[in-house]
Structure formats: structure tokens, C-alpha cells
């Protein structure tokens, strides 16, 4: 999971490049190019402008496709001289997880062509390979960049168009998260309004849905938001036949996953990906995969907020409540804190919701 930082911040405070990743596993920073390229030539009374798209400073931006320019020499028709020309190669460079930006370590992803969506790296210094999207495999670089990135005289340019409109994603708002939502909504409501307490992005290579090429065309990045709310797990009404005591005994799922609003009925792990399967509106099945890097980060965030993992899928919530009011009560409700990671495409369409029920944070209300 990645937060975003503006490139202008690193120009102003270069020491921030050496800051270690924040606490926790599988964390990274996406750099947003927030400044327009400098105009180097202007003509026609300012109507025509030539901008400098050459990347002269690190780190590389992630909201822009990069073009690698390299020189190619070949013989002319008379075999008497070498002719020089320039070729361009598109690439997307995404910072490696758990590394400071000063390490200059990137996943090199092909954004176009036959190998669109694949990573570039070497298995040896003489062998160029393009591989899939397992982030553990991508880290086995052995210090050797792909051949293309080792060409002498290579220049890097940013594309004039954005590959993604990335907005600010600061990560977790710990202060806001510590303040639970007010429990002042009507008992007829099954939950309180959700409050956003965190926002991140995930590059496409950590999410699996459909064919890779279509996948990238739909969304190069995915938005992940964390919200929390109160959710009703038990209720009862008093029609004059109940005393002042209520016994709560209910089983609650520790975690629930839904795809586009439909609850997941099957999950399994294969090749460092957790796969979720749900039924679709058309009567078939929908499958979405999350890299274990994402799942591990989500669970780490929840555990430090009090969520308890373990083998028990539906722990029991048992407690006794006694009404202390003078006027008789009509309705009783018991609520649990639910934190949800919501995964969306860049067009705003919902993919997956991952709910964590915090069964140690229970409150009750009388009406």
C-alpha cells in the first residue's frame, strides 16, 4: 500500500528522500509530479511553446509514463558512415516496497506492447527476462537493472499525458481513527455513517482481476480507503413483557469480504495471491485476487487497532445489560466497531470491501 507525496516537497526538502518507510510491512511512496515542465522555447508571440520534459532529478514520478531515449547506430546505404537515430521505450517505474526513495530501487513495468503489464529484470547479467507480477519475485534483482536501463547515454523523459490522476493519499489519520463515531443515531438504523480515516493507492500489479492488458487499461492504480463505523449485531424490543435486563449472545464474523456488494463464499491462497470468489448479478462467478502484501498490511493495521486474529471465524459476543432508566424502555441495540478497507478503480467503481469486526469494542443503547 502506497501513500503519495508531491515531487515539489522533495525538491524543497531533499533529506526526506532518505526517510525510512513508516512503521509496518509492505509500505511505499508514490511521487506525484505536481509542477509543469519548464518552457525552454517560445515562439509565435507565445502561442507555441516547447517544454522541457527531460527528467533531470530523482525520484521518478509515478503519475507519468516515462520514455527512455537511447541512440541507435546503423550503416548508411554506401556503408561508409554510421547513421545515428533515437529510439524511445515506454516504461513505468514504481518504487519498491519497504525501501526509502533514496535507494532508487524501482519495479520496471512495461505499460504498452505485447508484454504490457510485465516486469523487466535480469536472471543473470546476460539474460533479459520479462516476468509476472509477484512482488517477492520482483525483488530478486541481484543489483542488475535490465539491459535497456544499462545503456550508456540513456535519457529519461516524462510523457505529456498523465497515466493516472492521483490525488493526495496521506495514509492513516491516527488522530481521527482514535475518535470513534458518535453513537447518537436512531436505533432503527443498522449502522452509523462511515468515517474515512485513511487513504492509500495500490499499483495494478498487486491486484488481479481479468486479463492483464484489459486490467491496465481499466485502472493503472487502485484507490484504497479505510473507514470505520458502528454496526448493529443484536437488537430486541420490549412490548411490556421484559424486565430491565437483556442478555446478548451472538456470533460475529471476525472478517467479511464482499465483491461489488456480494459476500465472498470462497477464498484460497496461490502464488502469493489471496483469491476471493463471489456470485455475480448474471448468475456466474466473479474472482478477485489481492497480493498477500496488501492483505498482510491490512491485517497489520487492524491488529494494532485492537482486532484479534486467530482460527476462530465467528467468535461469540456475550454480555449482560441492565436498564437503569426510570421510564420503561422500548428498544435495545448492541453495536460493534467495523473497519472496512474499500478497494475502487480509478473511475470510482467498487471492486472489493474487506470488513474487520472489532469484537472487543462493543457498545449498547436503550430507547
What confidence tens digit (pLDDT) does each residue in 245-272 have? 999 999 999 999 999 889 998 999 998 9
pLDDT on residue 83: 55
**Interval 90-114 mean pLDDT:** 86
Rounded Cα–Cα distance for residues 244 and 334 (Å): 15
Please check the confidence at residue 305 and state whether its pLDDT lies above 80.
Answer: yes
Closest CA to 180 of 171, 191, 189: 191
Which residue did the predictor score with more confidence, 163 or 8? 8
Apex 99 CA angle, 97 and 103, nearest 5: 130
pLDDT on residue 162: 65
Which residue did the predictor score with more confidence, 110 or 366? 366
As a whole number of Å, the CA-based R_g of the chain is 26
| CA distance to 36, 85, 123, 140, 318, per residue, from 115 (Å) | 30, 24, 17, 20, 55
Q: Which DSSP letter does residue 164 get?
A: -
The mean pLDDT value of the chain amounts to 83
pLDDT on residue 50: 56
pLDDT on residue 46: 58
pLDDT tens profile 313-345: 888 999 999 988 878 889 999 999 999 999 999
C-alpha cell at 52: 522541457
pLDDT on residue 173: 95
pLDDT on residue 112: 76
Q: How confident is the model at residue 128 (pLDDT cuts 50, 70, 90)?
A: very low
Rounded Cα–Cα distance for residues 161 and 51 (Å): 13
Please check the confidence at residue 224 and state whether its pLDDT lies above 50.
Answer: yes
Rounded Cα–Cα distance for residues 345 and 220 (Å): 9
Which residue did the predictor score with more confidence, 225 or 85? 225
Q: Using DSSP bridges, classify how beta strands 64-75 and 245-251 pair: parallel, antiparallel or unpaired.
A: unpaired
pLDDT on residue 228: 97
pLDDT tens profile 186-198: 888 899 999 999 9
pLDDT on residue 81: 56
**Got the DSSP string for 36-61?**
PPPEEEEETTTTEEEE--B--SSSPP
Lowest-pLDDT range of 124-138, 157-171, 267-281, 317-331: 124-138
Q: How confident is the model at residue 243 (pLDDT cuts 50, 70, 90)?
A: confident
- Spell 266-276 as b/e; 16+ CB within 10 A means b: eeeeeeebbbb
Q: CB burial class (10 A; 0-12, 13-18, 19+) of residue 94?
A: buried
**Interval 15-24 mean pLDDT:** 84
Please check the confidence at residue 129 and state whether its pLDDT lies above 50.
Answer: no
C-alpha cell at 271: 502464488
Which residue did the predictor score with more confidence, 44 or 285? 285
Amino acid at each position: 500500500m502506497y501513500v503519495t507525496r508531491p515531487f515539489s516537497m522533495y525538491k524543497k526538502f531533499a533529506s526526506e528522500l532518505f526517510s525510512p518507510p513508516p512503521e509496518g510491512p509492505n509500505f511505499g511512496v508514490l511521487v506525484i509530479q505536481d509542477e509543469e515542465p519548464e518552457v525552454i522555447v517560445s515562439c509565435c508571440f507565445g502561442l507555441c511553446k516547447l517544454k522541457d520534459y527531460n527528467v533531470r532529478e530523482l525520484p521518478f514520478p509515478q503519475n507519468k509514463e516515462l520514455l527512455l531515449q537511447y541512440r541507435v547506430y546503423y550503416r548508411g546505404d554506401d556503408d561508409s558512415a554510421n547513421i545515428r537515430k533515437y529510439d524511445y521505450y515506454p516504461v513505468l517505474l514504481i518504487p519498491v516496497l519497504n525501501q526509502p526513495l533514496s535507494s532508487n530501487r524501482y519495479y520496471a513495468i512495461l505499460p504498452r506492447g505485447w508484454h504490457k503489464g510485465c516486469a523487466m529484470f535480469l536472471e543473470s547479467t546476460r539474460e533479459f527476462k520479462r516476468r509476472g507480477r509477484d512482488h517477492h519475485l520482483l525483488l530478486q534483482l541481484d543489483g542488475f537493472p535490465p539491459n535497456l536501463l544499462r545503456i550508456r547515454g540513456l535519457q529519461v523523459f516524462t510523457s505529456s499525458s498523465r497515466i493516472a490522476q492521483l490525488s493526495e493519499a496521506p495514509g492513516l489519520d491516527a488522530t481521527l481513527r482514535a475518535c470513534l463515531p458518535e453513537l447518537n443515531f436512531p436505533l432503527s438504523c443498522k449502522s452509523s455513517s462511515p468515517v474515512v480515516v485513511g487513504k492509500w493507492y495500490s499499483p495494478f500489479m498487486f491486484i488481479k482481476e481479468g486479463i492483464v492488458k484489459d486490467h491496465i487499461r481499466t485502472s493503472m492504480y487502485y484507490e484504497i480507503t479505510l473507514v470505520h463505523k458502528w454496526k448493529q449485531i443484536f437488537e430486541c424490543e420490549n412490548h411490556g413483557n421484559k424486565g430491565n435486563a437483556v442478555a446478548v449472545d451472538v456470533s460475529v464474523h471476525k472478517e467479511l469480504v464482499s465483491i461489488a456488494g456480494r459476500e465472498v463464499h470462497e477464498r484460497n491462497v496461490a502464488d502469493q495471491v489471496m483469491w476471493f470468489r463471489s456470485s455475480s448479478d448474471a448468475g456466474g462467478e466473479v474472482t478477485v485476487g489481492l497480493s498477500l502484501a496488501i492483505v498482510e498490511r491490512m491485517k497489520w493495521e487492524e491488529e494494532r487497532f485492537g482486532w484479534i486474529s486467530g482460527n476462530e471465524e465467528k467468535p461469540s459476543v456475550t454480555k449482560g445489560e441492565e436498564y437503569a432508566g426510570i421510564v420503561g424502555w422500548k428498544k435495545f441495540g448492541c453495536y460493534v466497531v467495523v473497519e472496512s478497507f474499500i478497494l475502487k478503480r480509478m473511475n470510482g467503481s467498487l471492486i472489493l470491501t474487506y470488513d474487520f469486526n472489532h469484537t472487543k469494542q462493543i457498545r449498547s443503547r436503550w430507547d
